[in-house]
């Protein structure tokens, strides 16, 4: 039988459909023990205000979400939260609905769910059960809600997800605690995702996100600022509000050191906005920085999306992407239409460009790159004119029209005039005779182009070095090891005095 493990109940990624072994008591115990360690660590963090350990808790949450079952989370909620906590009843009620949804999904898809029909022996489960302590902390409460929100999204419980995320957000905003900030940032991520997926009214949540960003700035909540800046930029881009997004970026500061994943997203969003605003060089720099900083072994979908945009921006800059970009195993199939487009632009064949654009229009529109690709038409014409300028000293506009697949000779004359004005070619237009008189090609090494290219490479290397230095992590208080204490200083001074006295005595004896 095809089985779908309940280990993916709280994961937002689709459950894998493969033959898996029955869930044994050891696996249940290991998951419960890991959850207990995480809760104990969270309690310690809150009591000692050790905020630097919270990222470790969030990393563990991602792993637990893939292995935790509904029954285990129900047991955890029942043990962790006190009976007088109102959220306890809400959590248990939501988990009951999720459990029922899991059972229905198991029957309709002919899939065996571990939650619905557990294969763990009851006696074994009770013998290895992990007892969790009662913890009445808002951080623990919100932490448990994160699992529930992920499951509500996965099983498309629309009404429950919208209602729950609004209530959790209101509950978080009742507190002003720095240890709650990372969890509140996660809640805002779910808030935006749920409203985007189920509510379909992005403008309605924009004011809430702007108010939350203002509050996080006033509280010096850096993780909140980073998360909310990205959510707002995504909100603007979803509705094609590029001008508003551009103004928002110019008036806000992103805390780069708080989270690498958030910074990578921010670079992509800013790069996309700058590409639309015709700032191709800055956009390409941001996109390539985003690709370099993105995780190497995961986030293939994100890297694929960034590469698609980066290829278009590089073509708009008049450069041709390297062939090895298209030969990467995980990107080869997705970038196939973009490889055809690159070849058409590189050759300068307008007819081939139009054919590729028509053939893959649906793909480009789905990738939200279609409007940028339409701008490439001028680049194709420029490339064709450059090739003509190196091959001919004089050419008729009718011949240019045939080579570039333009409408008529008059249109070819206008295109050539614009290319001369933009500095693409160095030529003169003879309107009376109807031809283009090209000037002699100048040796490129007598111009400033090599110096400009060399300076560009130097700047890139220096930027990479500076980013590497910034990314280095130093252990806290490491410098204190080199500093001597007051007692050690007194001891050293005493030894120096004794040594000096001994030298004086030896000198006196010598005299």
Q: Per-residue pLDDT for the chain (511 aa), expressed as one digit of tens each?
A: 344 444 455 555 444 443 433 445 566 667 777 777 877 877 787 788 777 777 787 777 777 777 777 777 777 777 777 777 777 787 788 777 777 777 777 666 554 434 433 333 333 344 345 666 666 677 787 888 888 888 888 877 778 878 888 888 888 888 888 788 888 888 888 888 888 888 677 777 888 888 888 888 888 888 888 888 888 898 888 888 888 888 888 888 888 777 788 888 899 999 999 888 888 888 888 888 888 888 877 778 888 888 888 888 888 887 788 888 888 888 888 888 888 888 888 877 777 888 888 888 888 888 888 888 888 887 777 777 777 777 677 777 777 777 776 767 776 777 777 777 766 666 777 777 777 777 666 667 777 888 888 998 999 899 888 888 877 766 666 556 556 566 777 788 888 888 888 777 776 666 5
Task: Answer for the pair 213, 232: CB distance below 8 angstroms, yes or no.
Answer: yes
For residues 100 and 71, the answer to whether their CB atoms sit within 8 Å is: no
User: CA-CA distance, 194 to 182, in Å (whole number)?
Assistant: 19
Q: What is the CA radius of gyration of the chain?
A: 32
d(CA 501, CA 511): 15
Q: What pLDDT, on the 0 to 100 scale, is given for residue 488?
A: 75
Angle 383-385-387 from CA coordinates, rounded to 5°: 75
Residue 139 — left, alpha, or beta (φ > 0 → left; ψ -120 to 50 → alpha)? alpha
Q: Which residues pair with 438 in a beta bridge?
A: 427
DSSP string, 111-153: -EETTTS--S-HHHHHHSPPPPPP---HHHHHHHHHHHHHHHH
Q: How far apart are CA 130 and CA 104, in angstroms?
A: 29
Q: For residue 458, what pLDDT is reported?
A: 92
Q: Which of 30, 95, 96, 98 is nearest to 64 (CA)?
A: 30
* Entry pTM: 0.73
Q: How far is CA 241 from CA 247, 277, 475, in A?
A: 10, 12, 43
Is residue 280 within 8 A of residue 313, CB to CB? The reply is yes
d(CA 74, CA 63): 18
pLDDT for 134: 66
- Residue 96 CB contacts under 8 Å (≥ 6 apart), including other chains: 74
Q: Helices 260-276 and 300-316, interaxial angle, to 10°?
A: 30
Closest CA to 307 of 330, 287, 332: 287
Q: Give the integer Cα–Cα distance in Å for 477 and 446.
A: 55
């Amino acid at each position: 039988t095809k089985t779908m493990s309940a280990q993916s109940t709280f994961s937002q990624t689709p459950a894998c459909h493969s033959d898996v072994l029955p869930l044994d008591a050891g696996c249940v115990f290991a998951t419960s023990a890991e959850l207990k360690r995480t809760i104990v660590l969270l309690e310690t963090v809150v009591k000692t205000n050790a905020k630097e350990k919270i990222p470790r808790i969030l990393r563990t949450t991602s792993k637990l979400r893939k292995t935790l079952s509904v029954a285990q989370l129900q047991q955890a909620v029942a043990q962790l939260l006190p009976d007088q906590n109102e959220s306890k009843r809400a959590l248990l009620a939501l988990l009951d609905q999720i459990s029922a949804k899991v059972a229905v999904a198991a029957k309709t898809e002919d899939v065996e769910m571990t939650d619905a029909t557990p294969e763990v022996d009851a006696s074994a489960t009770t013998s290895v059960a992990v007892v969790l302590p009662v913890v009445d902390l808002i951080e623990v409460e919100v932490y448990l809600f994160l699992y529930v929100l992920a499951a509500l999204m996965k099983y498309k419980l629309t009404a429950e997800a919208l209602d729950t995320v609004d209530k959790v957000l209101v509950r978080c905003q009742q507190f002003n605690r720095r240890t709650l900030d990372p969890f509140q940032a996660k809640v805002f991520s779910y808030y935006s995702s749920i409203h985007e997926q189920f509510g379909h009214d992005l403008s309605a949540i924009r004011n809430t996100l702007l108010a939350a960003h203002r509050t996080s700035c006033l509280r010096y909540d850096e993780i909140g600022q980073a998360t909310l800046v990205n959510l707002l930029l995504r909100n603007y881009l979803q509705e094609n509000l590029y001008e508003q997004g551009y103004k928002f970026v110019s008036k806000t500061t992103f805390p780069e050191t708080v989270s690498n994943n958030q910074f990578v997203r921010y670079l992509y969003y800013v790069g996309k906005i700058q590409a639309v605003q015709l700032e191709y060089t800055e956009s390409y720099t941001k996109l390539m920085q985003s690709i370099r900083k993105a995780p190497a072994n995961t986030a293939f979908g994100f890297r694929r999306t960034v590469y698609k945009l980066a290829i278009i921006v590089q073509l708009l800059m008049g450069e041709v992407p390297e062939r090895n970009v298209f030969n990467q195993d995980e990107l080869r199939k997705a970038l196939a239409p973009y490889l055809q487009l690159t070849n058409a632009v590189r050759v300068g064949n307008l007819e081939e460009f139009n054919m590729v654009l028509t053939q893959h229009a649906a793909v480009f529109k789905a990738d939200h790159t279609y409007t940028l690709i339409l701008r490439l038409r001028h680049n194709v014409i420029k490339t064709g004119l450059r090739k003509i300028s190196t091959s001919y000293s004089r050419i008729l506009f009718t011949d240019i029209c045939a080579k570039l697949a333009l409408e008529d000779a008059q249109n070819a004359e206008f295109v050539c005039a614009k290319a001369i004005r933009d500095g693409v070619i160095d030529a003169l237009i003879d309107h009376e005779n109807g031809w283009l008189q090209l000037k002699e090609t100048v040796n490129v090494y007598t111009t400033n182009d090599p110096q400009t290219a060399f300076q560009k490479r130097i700047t890139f290397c220096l930027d990479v070095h500076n980013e590497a230095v910034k990314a280095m992590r130093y252990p806290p208080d490491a410098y204190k090891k080199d500093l001597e204490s007051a007692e050690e200083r007194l001891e050293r001074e005493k030894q120096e005095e004794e040594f000096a006295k001994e030298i004086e005595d030896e000198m006196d004896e010598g005299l």
